[in-house]
Amino acid sequence: MGLTLSWLSVIILIPLAGLFLRSLELSPEQFWNILSSRRTLNALRVSFGLAFAAACVNLVMGSIIVWALVRYRFPGRRLFDAIVDVPFALPTAVAGVALTALFAEKGWLGAPLAALGIKVAFTPVGIFVAMIFIGIPFVVRTVQPVLQDLDPEIEEAAGSLGASRWQTIIRVILPSLAPALLTGLALAFARAVGEYGSVIFIAGNLPNVSEIAPLLIVIRLSEFRYADATAIAVVMLVVSFVIIFAVNRLQRWAQSRIPER
C-alpha cells in the first residue's frame, strides 16, 4: 500500500508538482507576458480551436458509426468494428507520416483534393484531419456500449404510442445517450489538444498559422526558454484537469440516471 503510493508519487506526482513549482517561480507579470505573446496565443488558438472542431466532427461521425455498428448487419461489420481501434494502437509518429503521405499534393487523396483546389497537408486543414483521425475511437468506444445496452422496450413504447421514428430518436434515444456522447466529445477533445506525433508531420508548422501548442513547447525547450515552455504547459495541464473533472461528473450523472438492474 505504502509502496504503491510512494511509486505513484515518484513517477507521477513529483514530476507534475515540479512543473507547477517551476511556474510559481515566474512572476504573474512574466507569466502573463509569455501567454499573451502573439505566437503563444496563436498556438493555443490553433490547438484548442481545431481540437474542438475535430471533436465535433468526431461526435457526429462517431454517432453514425456507432449506429451502423450496433443497429445494422452488413458485410464487414466486425472488421470495421475492429479497425475503429487503429488510431489507439498505431504509434502517433506512424500515423503522422502516413496521413501526410496520403494527403500530400501527390498523395492518393491529396491529388484529387488538389485538383479541386483544396490543400490539406501543410495547412491548418491538415492539423484538423490528424485530430479527427486520433479522436474517432474515443467517441465510438464510449457511446457503443451504452447504445448496445439501451432497453429496446422504451423505443417500442414510444413508437407504439404514435411517435415517428425521428421523434423517437430525438426525444428518447438521444437523451439516454447524452452523457456518453458528451464524455466521448470531451475525451476526443482532450486527446486532440495534447496530440503531437500525428499532427506535426502534416501541420506545416508555420508560426502563428499552423503551429500547435505542444510543438511550441518543444521549440521553446530546444531554445532553452524553459519559462516559456513551462507557462504554456501549465495552461494546457489546467485544461486537462478541468476536462478530467468534467468527465468524472458526466460519468456520475450517467450513473445516477440509470436505475439499478
Partner 1 sequence: MTLQIAESASLVSPDARARAHAAAARDSLRTEPRAVRITIIALAMIFLTVFVVLPLVVVFAQAFSKGILAYLAALAEPEALAAIKLTLLVAAISVGLNLVFGLIAAWAIAKFDFRGKTFLITLIDLPFSVSPVISGLVFVLLFGAQGYFGTWLREHDIQILFAVPGIALATTFVTFPFVARALIPLMQEQGTQEEEAAISLGASGLQTFFRVTLPNIKWGVLYGVLLCNARAMGEFGAVSVVSGHIRGETNTMPLLVEILYNEYQFVAAFAIASLLAMLALITLIAKTVLERHLNEGQDARDH
Per CB under 8 A, contacts with partner 1 among 107-166 are: 107-109, 129, 132-133, 136, 152, 155-156, 158-160, 165
Tracing cell 512574466 back to the chain, one arrives at: 30
Q: How far is the CB of 209 from partner 1 (least distance, A)?
A: 20
- Candidates 124, 188, 195, 250: give the one binding partner 1 (CB under 8 A): 195
| Residue ranges in 60-89 that form contacts with partner 1 under rule CB under 8 A | 61, 64-65, 67-69, 71-72, 74, 76, 80, 82-87, 89
Q: Phi, psi (5° rounding) for residue 84?
A: -55, -30
Tracing cell 487523396 back to the chain, one arrives at: 109
- Phi and psi based region of residue 249 (left: phi greater than 0; alpha: psi -120 to 50; beta: remaining): alpha
d(CA 100, CA 120): 9
- Candidates 37, 208, 248, 255: give the one binding partner 1 (CB under 8 A): 248
99 sits near partner 1 (criterion: CB under 8 A):
yes
- Candidates 41, 97, 118, 174: give the one binding partner 1 (CB under 8 A): 97
- Candidates 188, 230, 231, 254: give the one binding partner 1 (CB under 8 A): 230
Q: How far is the CB of 2 from partner 1 (least distance, A)?
A: 10
The answer to whether the CB of 190 falls within 8 A of the CB of 237 is no
- Candidates 26, 53, 56, 98: give the one binding partner 1 (CB under 8 A): 98
Q: Which three cell numbers stand for residue 260?
A: 439499478
d(CA 183, CA 60): 13
Scanning 28-36, 37-45, 112-120, 227-235 for contacts with partner 1 by CB under 8 A, the matching segment is 227-235
DSSP 104: S
Cβ-based nearer residue to partner 1, 41 or 154: 154
CA distances from 115 to 106, 119, 127 (A): 10, 9, 20
The mark string for 27-56 relative to partner 1 (x by CB under 8 A, - otherwise) is ------------------------------
Scanning 32-40, 57-65, 113-121, 203-211 for contacts with partner 1 by CB under 8 A, the matching segment is 57-65
Scanning 3-11, 118-126, 141-149, 176-184 for contacts with partner 1 by CB under 8 A, the matching segment is 3-11
Q: Which has the closest alpha carbon to 185: 57, 86, 71? A: 57
- Candidates 118, 206, 218, 238: give the one binding partner 1 (CB under 8 A): 218
Buried b (16+ CB within 10 A) or exposed e, 72-108: eeeeeeeeeeeebeebeebebeebbebbbbbbbeebe
